[in-house]
């Protein structure tokens, strides 16, 4: 199994894309840290599924925008696992992809941008900084940040969300340049619309059909579609790739 004896932290892993990523790592033999903020029952269900798939898993509650909570999580990982090989920054501030109810630019207060920056950039900064001492213990560590194809192709202008994800891509490139000499790679995975997730539940069927018609592979991504590219970027198969953004949207973006 590709990730046997490897320890992987997935933030926001109690549901949706994060849960699928955690389960995919577990299926490859990894020890997965299932981070969650509030829903302990959902996180423990993901842990149980990870174990059924052949891996090991541990649920740890932490608000990833809180330096104190993340520091405590890093300490617990160090005590219980003794190492960390992969960080997947998947958690983000709550958002609804609802084209009809979205706030237009002139309706979007600056505070909305701030909330999304907290969830996308501050969370990734806080987790990456706290986990760096653990990542440095082993060669070949990897950080994967979940961005969005809306940065490249804003098919629907979700101003606050997309701007924060664009900043996350810029942060990730700087981090890749800084951490490369330490043997730590940093990349982004940028999905398109992913269904089913809580965030996409408000996206109407006609909007999905329009996206499908514009997508060369003629379907919407599932959480499992995102998990595979994350595992690739965490593996030795991508050992000479850093600072890149991999679009996972069926060819909607070709860059």
Determine how many CB atoms are found less than 10 A away from the CB of residue 195.
16
**Alpha carbon 166 to its chain's center:** 14
For 122, which DSSP code?
Answer: I
Determine how many CB atoms are found less than 10 A away from the CB of residue 167.
18
| 36 assigned to active site | no
CA dist., res. 62 & res. 82, Å (int): 19
CA dist., res. 255 & res. 69, Å (int): 37
Catalytic residue among 36, 125, 158, 161: 161
Contacts of 213-217 with C-beta under 8 Å, sequence gap 24+, read: 214/155, 214/252, 215/249, 215/250, 215/251, 215/252, 216/250, 216/251, 216/252, 217/250, 217/251
CA dist., res. 115 & res. 18, Å (int): 20
Chain position carrying tokens 């549901």: 15
**Cβ contact 146:245 at 8 Å:** no
Helical (H) or strand (E) element with 212:
helix 205-214
Determine how many CB atoms are found less than 10 A away from the CB of residue 119.
22
Q: Which residues are catalytic?
A: 161
């Amino acid at each position: 199994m590709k990730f046997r004896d490897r320890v992987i932290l997935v933030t926001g892993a109690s549901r949706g894309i994060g849960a699928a990523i955690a389960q995919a790592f577990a299926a490859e033999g990894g020890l997965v840290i299932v981070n969650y903020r509030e829903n302990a029952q959902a996180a423990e269900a993901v842990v149980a599924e990870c174990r059924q798939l052949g891996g090991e898993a541990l649920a740890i509650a932490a608000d990833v925008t809180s330096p104190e909570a993340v520091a405590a999580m890093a300490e617990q990982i160090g005590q219980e696992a003794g190492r960390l090989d992969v960080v997947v920054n998947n958690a983000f501030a709550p958002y609804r992809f609802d084209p009809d109810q979205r706030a237009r630019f002139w309706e979007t207060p600056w505070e909305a941008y701030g909330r999304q920056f907290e969830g996308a950039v501050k969370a990734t900064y806080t987790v990456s900084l706290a986990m760096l001492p653990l990542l440095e213990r082993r060669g070949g560590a990897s950080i994967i940040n979940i961005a969005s194809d809306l940065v490249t192709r804003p098919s629907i202008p979700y101003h606050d969300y997309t701007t924060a994800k664009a900043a996350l891509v810029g942060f990730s490139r700087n981090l890749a340049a800084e951490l490369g000499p330490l043997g730590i790679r940093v990349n982004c995975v940028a999905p398109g619309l992913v269904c089913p997730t809580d965030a996409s539940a408000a996206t109407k069927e006609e909007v999905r059909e329009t996206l499908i018609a514009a997508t060369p592979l003629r379907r919407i991504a599932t959480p499992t579609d995102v998990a595979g590219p994350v595992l690739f970027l965490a593996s030795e198969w991508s050992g000479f790739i850093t600072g890149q953004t991999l679009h996972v949207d069926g060819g909607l973006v070709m860059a």
